[in-house]
Amino acid sequence: DAGVIQSPRHEVTEMGQEVTLRCKPISGHDYLFWYRQTMMRGLELLIYFNNNVPIDDSGMPEDRFSAKMPNASFSTLKIQPSEPRDSAVYFCASRVSSGGAGYTFGSGTRLTVV
């Protein structure tokens, strides 16, 4: 199994630009999570999906952030417009409902907004 695949691994963009982060969960996993990690705040849950449906987006910082899951094998997290304070590592994780509480994380996207 290839695990959770995220792209790109690194993204540097200018303030005001649109940024799209991509995630392919493990096949058969029915939960997908988007996290943000910073030194100051640690790991923060932004949003999670169950069977492609957004269940809880209360962690999304503001309207500039949006996430979609058009099918079971693909999800995007979009920031528009981006700001320097959005600089962080963004992780996607997935799990299967019958497999216990543990998630499998991707390797993350390191976003730098200048």
Partner 1 sequence: GQQLNQSPQSMFIQEGEDVSMNCTSSSIFNTWLWYKQDPGEGPVLLIALYKAGELTSNGRLTAQFGITRKDSFLNISASIPSDVGIYFCAGSDSNYQLIWGAGTKLIIKP
With contacts defined by CB under 8 A, name the span among 20-28, 63-71, 73-81, 90-98 that binds partner 1: 90-98
Token pair of 34, please? 């988007």
Give the other-Cβ count within 10 Å of 14's Cβ: 10
With contacts defined by CB under 8 A, name the span among 22-30, 60-68, 75-83, 91-99 that binds partner 1: 91-99
Distance CA 16, CA 28 (A): 36
| Closest distance to partner 1 from the beta carbon of 81 (Å) | 27
The DSSP secondary structure of 5-57, one letter per residue, reads EEE-SEEEE-TT--EEEEEEPPTT--EEEEEEEETTTEEEEEEEEETTEEEE-
| Closest distance to partner 1 from the beta carbon of 42 (Å) | 5
Question: What's the DSSP call for residue 84?
Answer: G
For residues 13 to 52, the per-residue mask of contacts with partner 1, x marking binding by CB under 8 A and - elsewhere, is ------------------x----------xx-x--x----
Side chain identity at residue 23, one-letter code: C
Side chain identity at residue 62, one-letter code: E
Per CB under 8 A, does 91 bind partner 1?
Answer: yes
| Closest distance to partner 1 from the beta carbon of 16 (Å) | 28
With contacts defined by CB under 8 A, name the span among 11-19, 20-28, 67-75, 104-112 that binds partner 1: 104-112
